[in-house]
Amino acid sequence: MTSAYHRKKQPDVVRRALLDCAATLALEQGLGAVTVAAVAEAAGVTKGGLFHHFPSKQALVEGVFLDVVAKVDAVIDLTMAQDPDPQGAFTRAYVISNFSDPLLPRGSQWAALHLSILAEPSLRRLMAAWIAGRMERHRDTDDGPVLEIVRLAADGAWLALLIGDGCPRPDVPALRDRLVAMTRTG
């Protein structure tokens, strides 16, 4: 067995493991389960190793959030790049990404993201900043009442799917298609 003193350092691998383990704990057991001890143990590192990458539990939680947002951004950007019509492209990509997760919504990164936002004020501020930045970036193509309604409808439908029990479950492909079609009319 190689001791920690002789093992090759792989900070990117350790950071990725910490983010993944924290996200898994948050998704499976709730944000309260994301403790320094639990994440360190799940990732196979010491608490000191965790603190080397994240100076606090709050920094770790925000790191998970920003990691998920970066993944969502990548999906949105890829979808937009494949859209030949720039008018409403961000909104279409947003709707498509909201409804494209194969585990929709339970067990998905979107689920972890939304649940964390509900529980943590600092994450709500980060999400608001992300939305404001995206809207500023796409103001010329996606600023209008119909497109705003489409994005809000996608969020509401997604939340209904997340809540699940007792809420009527929409026909996801049909709803996605209707919302995408609305982006081409307004």
pLDDT at 53: 95
Q: Which fold has domain 7-55?
A: Arc Repressor Mutant, subunit A (1.10.10)
pLDDT at 163 over 80: no
The model's pTM is 0.77
pLDDT at 36: 94
For 143-171, give one letter per residue: b (16+ CB within 10 A) or e. eeeebeebbebbeebbeebbeeeeeeebe
In the chain, what are the domain boundaries?
Answer: 7-55, 62-182
**Higher per-residue pLDDT: 88 or 27:** 88
pLDDT in tens, 38-89: 999 999 999 999 999 999 998 998 898 888 888 888 989 999 999 999 999 9
For 45-80, give one letter per residue: b (16+ CB within 10 A) or e. beeebbbebbeeeeebbbbbbebbbeebeebbeebb
The reply to whether omega before 105 is within 30° of 0 (cis) is yes
**Higher per-residue pLDDT: 122 or 104:** 122
pLDDT at 46: 93
pLDDT at 7: 52
The number of C-alpha atoms within 13 Å of 10 and in the hemisphere containing its C-beta is 8
Amino acid in position 104: L
Give which of 76, 60, 78, 80 is closest to 18, Cα–Cα: 60
User: What are the residues whose beta carbons fall under 8 Å from the beta carbon of 88, sequence distance 6 or more?
Assistant: 141, 142, 147, 183, 184, 186
Token pair belonging to 177: 């298609």
Give which of 182, 96, 174 is closest to 147, Cα–Cα: 182
* 16/27 Cα distance (integer angstroms): 16
